[in-house]
Amino acid sequence: MAPTLPIVAASLRFAYAEAEDRLTLLAADARGQAVHVALTRRLTDRLFNGLAQLLERSNALAVQAPAELRDDIVLMEHQDALYGQGAAPQAEAVALPDLPAPRLVGAIDITVTPASFEIGLRDAGPLVALSLDRRQVHRIVEALGQHAEAAGWNIAVAAAWLEPGQTEIVLN
């Protein structure tokens, strides 16, 4: 039975489909219904950098801080989301089960509210709906970056706080 779309995702699993040169995503809802979608390199780049930019612009402390400290503030938030108290354990890399061919995502809609990031993935119609808090968005950005790097996509990183090796924080 085909799932009712859009899937209101409760879990996400990423994988790289080498034959298609696509990042695939299995989004499942709380009832176990799932949809398998694919992101192109270009769309992954835009989602990765777009979410990073939205995280910067919506961080109240970073917006009010001097320009030279903004990246450090967002970097600390990013590291806390990944490794801090309440951080989700790292998921083991697991191959996705045999799935039907993924549906190609053609557009992504993002709405930022004070409490959440509402993200919709769609082709001709809606496919996946996500409602994420800031921590979850940081984790999605990290997953996108890791999978793009593993795929050898060499995505240009627009946010300085996401550059590889950005673990040092300036303390004044």
Q: For the chain, what are the domain ranges?
A: 7-162
CB atoms within 10 A of CB 56: 20
Residue 18's Cβ-count burial label (10 Å; 0-12, 13-18, 19+) is exposed
Laid out side by side, the sheet with 11-17 consists of 11-17, 22-28, 34-39, 103-104
User: Using 50, 70 and 90 to split pLDDT, how confident is the model at 89?
Assistant: low
User: Using 50, 70 and 90 to split pLDDT, how confident is the model at 96?
Assistant: low
Residues paired with 110 in a beta bridge:
119
pTM beyond 0.75, yes or no: yes
Using a pLDDT cut of 90, give the percent of the chain over it.
63
Which residue would you say has higher pLDDT here, 86 or 24? 24
User: Using 50, 70 and 90 to split pLDDT, how confident is the model at 137?
Assistant: very high
Q: Three-state secondary structure along the chain? A: CCCCCCEECCEEEEEEECCCCEEEEEEECCCCCEEEEEECHHHHHHHHHHHHHHHHHCCHHHHHCCHHHHHHHHHHHHHHHHHCCCCCCCCCCCCCCCCCCCEECCEEEEEECCCCEEEEEECCCEEEEEEECHHHHHHHHHHHHHHHHHCCCCCCCCCHHHCCCCCCCCCC
The answer to whether residue 84 scores a pLDDT higher than 60 is yes
What pLDDT is stored for residue 171 in this prediction? 53
Quote the CA–CA distance of 121 and 106 in Å, as a whole number. 8
The answer to whether residue 94 scores a pLDDT higher than 60 is no
At a CB cut-off of 8 Å and minimum separation 6, what does 8 contact? 29, 30, 129, 131
Which residue would you say has higher pLDDT here, 3 or 93? 3
Which residue would you say has higher pLDDT here, 146 or 170? 146
